[in-house]
Amino acid sequence: MTLEQLSDNQRIKIFNALADEKRINIIRILSHHENRPRCSDIGRRLEISKSNGSYHLKILAEANLVHIEREGVTKYVSLNKETFNQYLPGFLATL
């Protein structure tokens, strides 16, 4: 697939989502985790409030860079590697 075939709107969402140090750090944390961490674990690791963590995860999810899954009252987050492979091949290896 060539870059010309990809959606410009999706590119804008992705690059906007990655234009923040906290969100890059979230991606970095997720790229080094074998399992799905809880959203609250990510916030604690970055030393940010629950609402601030939710805000950043929402932006990443809207850009389709992460999956957020709810199990009861707990939310788990994982990378959407398909999006990275399609729009940013090699990016995760640089983290």
CATH class of 7-94: mainly alpha
pLDDT at residue 13, as a whole number: 93
pLDDT of res. 6 = 63
Whole-angstrom Cα distance, residue 66 to residue 8? Answer: 19
pLDDT beneath 70, residues of the chain: 1-6
**Residues 75-88 pLDDT 10s:** 999 999 999 998 88
Domain extents in the chain: 7-94
